[in-house]
Chain A
Amino acid sequence: EAQVTQNPRYLITVTGKKLTVTCSQNMNHEYMSWYRQDPGLGLRQIYYSMNVEVTDKGDVPEGYKVSRKEKRNFPLILESPSPNQTSLYFCASSSRAGYGYTFGSGTRLTVV
Chain B
Amino acid sequence: AQSVTQLGSHVSVSEGALVLLRCNYSSSVPPYLFWYVQYPNQGLQLLLKYTSAATLVKGINGFEAEFKKSETSFHLTKPSAHMSDAAEYFCAVSAASGSARQLTFGSGTQLTVLP
Enumerate chain A interface residues (CB-CB to B < 8 A): 4, 31, 33, 35, 40-45, 48, 50, 56, 58-59, 90, 92, 94, 96-106
6 contacts between A and B (CB under 8 A): A35-B105, A94-B102, A100-B49, A101-B46, A101-B102, A106-B43
Chain B contact-residue range equals 20 to 34
B59 to chain A minimum Cβ distance, whole angstroms, is 11
- Inter-chain CA distance A43–B42, complex, in Å, is 14
- Inter-chain CA distance A35–B36, complex, in Å, is 14
| Pair B98/A96 contact, Cβ less than 8 Å | yes
Q: Which residues of B contact A58 (CB under 8 A)?
A: 102
Q: Which residues of A contact B107 (CB under 8 A)?
A: 40-42
- Inter-chain CA distance A27–B103, complex, in Å, is 19
Enumerate chain B interface residues (CB-CB to A < 8 A): 6, 9, 32, 34, 36, 42-46, 49, 51, 90, 92, 94-96, 98-100, 102-108
- Inter-chain CA distance A106–B6, complex, in Å, is 23
| Pair B44/A56 contact, Cβ less than 8 Å | no
